[in-house]
């Protein structure tokens, strides 16, 4: 007894081209392309194609596609070395560290000797001298800090994995890069979103497609011994209408600037929120900020957003279509918005709950009536 596989042989599943198909291909592709196709056929083992070339749908698979051969900065963790730890490893003394640094610098100086026509007065000539500032930082990152039983141990880089090491390009202040920065869009002539675009990598089209709205706006006062200092407080929401929502707060003297800052913060803070069938929430959730309590309740398809205006705006921005809500206690606008956000974020996902309880869960809502309900 054991698992009986009725899988076909890989060669049968992926048959080589026969003469007929080859002729048909020859009509469509040039001889060079045909040769490339044949080379590809040669290179890929059908066994491999059968085992690896499938998108997995079983329970152990991840819910997204990813290429695990590449380490992506800020998403993937740093790979740990599996090697055993050296018991004799110790931190270098100050003198040893300085020696290592000196060795590193000498190596760079040997590789990049100073030009014979070096002039200390001349700015351009001075900038060619190595080791320069980047080399100094490299030395900090690359010189060993520990000594093991077999001499100095090269420590892991402090940089995030996958970060490209071409710092010269990042420091590039040549004409071409300056021009690129200065390039402005007529839809954003004041460059309000320039910094946001640079920080997040979003395009102006994406930013403009978000639903951003200032929901709360009021005056706040700081009482000092010199008098009252007024400023404006703004709370904005941003959503992509498809399951992402963010809150942004800003405070400042200028009403216009404050609103813009709040909007930008909201876009930056956008987070995915769980949605059931991409239309409503999972069950009933409660959020509480200060005395403002919010209860959000899932509703059937076609129910609509029957809730107060602040929650309505948030639900619309997040792409929720069926929802009802209660705000039984304080109705402070700012706290209501924050409590709603908190409630949306802390939904209990039925799949996760079932896993915790060790149960199997099947959603039968799409099973009857041909899945049209």
Partner 1 sequence: MSLVHLSNVCSHLQNASKARLGLTSVPSSNMILRLTLALQTSGFLSTVARGGLTPPPFDALSTYVPEPVTQENISTRRLWLGLKYWNNEPVLSQMSMVSKPTKRIWMDVEGLGRIVRGREAGFVKGLTKPGECMFISTDRGILEARECVERKVGGMLLCRVL
Cα–Cα distance measured from residue 131 to residue 105, given in angstroms and rounded to the nearest whole number: 6
Segment lying near partner 1 (by CB under 8 A), choices 4-12, 41-49, 188-196, 352-360: 352-360
In the complex, minimum distance from the CB of residue 340 to partner 1, in angstroms, rounded to a whole number: 17
Check binding of 87 to partner 1 (CB under 8 A).
no
Specify whether the CB–CB gap between 100 and 92 falls below 8 A.
Answer: yes
Segment lying near partner 1 (by CB under 8 A), choices 44-52, 157-165, 247-255, 276-284: 276-284
What residues have CB less than 8 Å from 80, skipping those under 6 apart? none
**Candidate residues 85, 357, 362, 364; the one interacting with partner 1 per rule CB under 8 A:** 357
In the complex, minimum distance from the CB of residue 324 to partner 1, in angstroms, rounded to a whole number: 12
Look up tokens 């409630």; give the residue. Answer: 343
Cα–Cα distance measured from residue 219 to residue 133, given in angstroms and rounded to the nearest whole number: 47
Cα–Cα distance measured from residue 326 to residue 329, given in angstroms and rounded to the nearest whole number: 9
Q: How many residues bind partner 1 (CB under 8 A)?
A: 16
Q: Report CA torsion sign: 362, 344, 317, 240.
A: negative
Check binding of 349 to partner 1 (CB under 8 A).
yes
Comparing CB distances to partner 1, the nearer of 78 and 348 is 348
The Cα angle at residue 70 between residues 65 and 74, in degrees rounded to 5: 85
Check binding of 355 to partner 1 (CB under 8 A).
yes
Cα–Cα distance measured from residue 81 to residue 210, given in angstroms and rounded to the nearest whole number: 42
Comparing CB distances to partner 1, the nearer of 76 and 284 is 284
3-state secondary structure of 61: coil
Check binding of 297 to partner 1 (CB under 8 A).
yes
The Cα angle at residue 85 between residues 82 and 88, in degrees rounded to 5: 160
In the complex, minimum distance from the CB of residue 66 to partner 1, in angstroms, rounded to a whole number: 21
Cα–Cα distance measured from residue 296 to residue 279, given in angstroms and rounded to the nearest whole number: 14
Stretch 37-66 residues interacting with partner 1 (CB under 8 A): none
**Candidate residues 40, 227, 358, 370; the one interacting with partner 1 per rule CB under 8 A:** 358
Segment lying near partner 1 (by CB under 8 A), choices 25-33, 88-96, 246-254, 354-362: 354-362
What burial class does residue 64 get, using C-beta atoms within 10 Å of its C-beta: 0-12 exposed, 13-18 middle, 19+ buried?
exposed
**Candidate residues 2, 356, 370, 371; the one interacting with partner 1 per rule CB under 8 A:** 356
Check binding of 216 to partner 1 (CB under 8 A).
no
Check binding of 300 to partner 1 (CB under 8 A).
no
**Candidate residues 111, 359, 370, 372; the one interacting with partner 1 per rule CB under 8 A:** 359
Check binding of 348 to partner 1 (CB under 8 A).
yes
**Residue ranges that bind partner 1, judged by CB under 8 A:** 282-285, 297, 348-350, 352-359
């Amino acid at each position: 007894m054991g698992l009986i596989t009725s899988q076909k042989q890989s060669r049968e599943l992926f048959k080589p081209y026969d003469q007929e198909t080859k002729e048909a291909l020859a009509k469509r592709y040039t001889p060079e392309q045909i040769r490339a196709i044949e080379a590809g056929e040669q290179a890929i083992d059908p066994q491999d194609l059968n085992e690896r070339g499938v998108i997995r749908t079983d329970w152990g698979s991840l819910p997204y596609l990813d290429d695990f051969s590449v380490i992506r900065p800020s998403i993937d963790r740093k790979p740990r070395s599996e090697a055993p730890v050296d018991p004799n490893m110790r931190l270098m003394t100050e003198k040893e560290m300085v020696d290592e640094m000196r060795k590193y610098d000498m190596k760079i100086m040997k590789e990049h000797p100073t030009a014979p026509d070096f002039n200390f007065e001349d700015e351009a000539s001075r900038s060619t001298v190595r080791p320069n500032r980047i080399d100094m930082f490299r030395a900090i990152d690359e010189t060993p800090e520990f000594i093991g039983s077999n001499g100095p141990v090269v420590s892991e880089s402090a940089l995030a994995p996958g970060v490209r090491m071409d710092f010269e390009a990042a420091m590039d202040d040549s004409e071409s890069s300056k021009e690129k920065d200065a390039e402005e869009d007529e839809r954003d002539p004041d460059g309000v979103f320039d910094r946001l675009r640079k920080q997040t990598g979003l395009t102006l089209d994406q930013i403009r497609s978000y639903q951003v709205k200032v929901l709360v706006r009021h005056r706040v006062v700081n009482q000092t011994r010199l008098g009252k200092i007024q400023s404006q407080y703004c709370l904005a929401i941003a959503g992509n209408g498809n399951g992402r929502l963010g809150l942004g707060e800003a405070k400042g003297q200028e009403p216009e600037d404050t609103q813009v800052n709040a909007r930008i913060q909201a876009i930056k803070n956008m987070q995915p929120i769980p949605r059931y069938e991409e239309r409503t929430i999972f069950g009933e959730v409660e959020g509480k900020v200060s005395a403002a309590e919010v209860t959000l309740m899932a509703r059937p398809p076609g129910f609509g957003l029957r809730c107060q205006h602040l929650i309505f705006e948030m639900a619309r921005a997040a792409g929720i279509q069926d929802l009802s809500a209660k705000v039984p206690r304080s109705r402070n606008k700012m706290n209501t918005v924050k409590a709603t956000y908190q409630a949306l974020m802390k939904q209990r996902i039925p799949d996760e709950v079932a896993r915790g309880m060790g149960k199997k869960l099947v959603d039968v809502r799409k099973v009857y009536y041909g899945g049209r309900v």
